[in-house]
């Protein structure tokens, strides 16, 4: 299982990147860090700078076809930066168009709103995104982890870092159903 982790050059919540990344690795999968820019990304522990991580591929180099699924970590700034990048948005939308599973946690559903892929779907997120999701045509629920199969692919969402165990177990279960 090869999984793309899409993050902005800065602003990703570190634990929402590293914990799912480790879960993919522990499951025998191959995670790759994809970002709009090459080099290193700057992670955060809430609003404080944390570690940096090397980018494996830029969104211009990566293709949806080479991955079995997509993970969108949160962080307040991360999805907001990604929303402004047309290539990043095309990359996200490409997973939906190809029917491949996507997992998003915390503030990451902002990216899904911008990609226009939440209409008719049920999802969860950090509570402050509730109105944005509803305005984009989605149904917001307050659940530890939610699986929505309404559409061409499976969408797994989760609310916050405290839900990471459930998020990881749920998205790995769904991603493992992908043939290949």
Q: Tens digit of pLDDT for each residue in 19-37?
A: 999 999 999 999 999 999 9
Q: Which fold has domain 2-175?
A: Rossmann fold (3.40.50)
Distance CA 9, CA 35 (A): 6
Mean pLDDT of 134-155: 95
Q: State how far the Cα of 89 lies from the Cα of 59, in Å rounded to an integer.
A: 9
Entry pTM? 0.98
Catalytic residues: 106-107
DSSP of 157-169, one letter per residue? EE-SGGGHHHHHH
pLDDT band, very low/low/confident/very high, at 175 (cuts 50, 70, 90): very high
Helix (H, G, I), strand (E, B) or coil at 10: strand
Tokens 């990604």 correspond to 82
Write down the domain spans for the chain. 2-175
CA dist list (Å): 92 to 41, 46, 101, 162? 18, 24, 11, 25
CA 112, CA 124: separation in Å to the nearest integer?
12
pLDDT at residue 180, as a whole number: 65
- Tell me the percentage of the chain whose pLDDT exceeds 90: 96
pLDDT digits (tens, 9 = 90+) for 58-96: 999 999 999 999 999 999 999 999 999 999 999 999 999
Residue with tokens 């929303």: 83
């Amino acid at each position: 299982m090869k999984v793309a982790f899409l993050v902005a050059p800065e602003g990703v919540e570190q634990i929402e990147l590293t914990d799912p990344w480790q879960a993919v690795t522990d499951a025998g999968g191959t995670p790759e860090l994809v970002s709009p820019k090459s080099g290193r990304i700057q992670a955060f522990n809430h609003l404080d700078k944390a570690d940096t991580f090397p980018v494996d591929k830029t969104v211009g180099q990566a293709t949806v076809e080479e991955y079995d699924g997509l993970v969108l970590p949160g962080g307040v700034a991360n999805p907001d930066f990604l929303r402004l990048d047309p290539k990043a948005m095309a990359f996200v939308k490409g997973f939906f168009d190809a029917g491949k599973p996507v997992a998003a946690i915390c503030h990451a559903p902002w990216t899904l709103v911008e990609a226009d892929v939440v209409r008719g779907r049920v999802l969860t997120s950090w509570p402050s995104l509730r109105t944005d999701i509803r305005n984009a045509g989605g149904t917001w629920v307050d659940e530890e982890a939610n699986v929505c199969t309404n559409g061409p692919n499976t969408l797994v969402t989760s609310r916050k870092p405290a839900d990471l165990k459930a998020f990881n177990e749920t998205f790995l279960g769904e991603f493992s159903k992908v043939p290949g």
